[in-house]
Structure 1
């Protein structure tokens, strides 16, 4: 535990001293806009061990990535079938066409249709049943390791920043 606190302290101090904009990271465009119908879609097979029924065919088209590769936005679509899905990253989705029936790890069930938004926490499973077709926008973010998250929260507290909520926060 002591090593974690020391690491968190070092990271917290580094974030105050070294501005992230000065770190050598891959260059991304400051603004990216594409038509939803104008994505190059690549086949992204679902792990065969995860398929429950049918022959779901999935594709992904990348929209954008953050400079630090910790956030990613994509269009994803899939044909009919049922499968389990493991979320390696935090993922917020907005269904833009079709629909999907979801059963979350905790038993929560929901049918998502065009216009619906949902969040899936990293490290969780959900079952997906696509009756015909589904197309979504996926906003993915790598979660911070616990010591880094703690350091980030500690830095905010030391700066006197209140917990943030809402889009303008």
Structure 2
């Protein structure tokens, strides 16, 4: 285990030295009203559509310099479809409602003001009766060795990650 950590640390140090691997300089604050963002068509994969003709649009708000997190505004007209979450996604419903069925059968209706979380690598069925508008906070999942390193660091610091408590 110690050898793996040493190799991972050495690899990370080498990557930081590569000129085109350095993070892109970006503004420390990105702020926009959702209505000020230009929406672009974002068609739903046709094989995922179950019913209706849902039309989706998206506007990118921001993206982290390391490309592991992004924030966007997304909207969609009526329809039912399956959706695959490549990334962990937290949503805040701005307008409308969506009836969600997770792949484990859990059902929930998210309405204006509700917050929902969808784990990366999972499917859910979405049914929108009229219209839905949301903010999506997306985060790429880290590889298992990186997750284990963070957990080890937190344990050594005495900061176990527990529900309701964010680890530093």
Q: TM-score range by the shorter chain?
A: 0.7 to 0.9
* 1:97-117 Cα distance to aligned partner (Å, 9 max, x none): 011000001101011110000
Measured at CA, do residues 168 and 32 of structure 1 come closer, stay the same or move farther in structure 2, by a change above 3 Å? Answer: farther
Partner of 2:7: 10
Partner of 2:61: 63
Measured at CA, do residues 97 and 125 of structure 1 come closer, stay the same or move farther in structure 2, by a change above 3 Å? Answer: same
Secondary structure, aligned partner of 2:7? helix
Write the distance in 1 (CA, Å) between the matches of 2:138 and 2:38: 19
Secondary structure, aligned partner of 1:56? coil
Shift of 1:14: 7.0
* Structure 2: gaps (5+ residues): none
Pick aligned residue for 2:105 from 99, 104, 107: 107
Task: Count how many residue pairs are aligned between Structure 1 and Structure 2.
Answer: 164
Partner of 2:126: 128
Matched, 1:163 2:160: yes
Measured at CA, do residues 42 and 13 of structure 1 come closer, stay the same or move farther in structure 2, by a change above 3 Å? Answer: same
Measured at CA, do residues 14 and 97 of structure 1 come closer, stay the same or move farther in structure 2, by a change above 3 Å? Answer: same
Larger RCO, structure (CA 8 Å, separation 6 or more): 1
* 1:83-137 Cα distance to aligned partner (Å, 9 max, x none): 0000000000000001100000110101111000000000000000000000000
* 1:29-84 Cα distance to aligned partner (Å, 9 max, x none): 11011012111111110000000010000000001111111000000000000000
Q: Residues 1-169 of structure 1 correspond to what in structure 2 (within 5 A)?
A: 6-11=3-8, 24-158=22-156, 160-164=157-161, 165-166=164-165
How well do the aligned residues superpose, as a CA RMSD in angstroms?
2.7
* 1:111-168 Cα distance to aligned partner (Å, 9 max, x none): 111000000000000000000000000000001011111122122333x231244469
* Structure 1: gaps (5+ residues): none
Secondary structure, aligned partner of 2:77? strand
Measured at CA, do residues 144 and 132 of structure 1 come closer, stay the same or move farther in structure 2, by a change above 3 Å? Answer: same
Write the distance in 2 (CA, Å) between the matches of 1:168 and 1:154: 12
TM-score of the two chains, using structure 1 as the length reference: 0.86
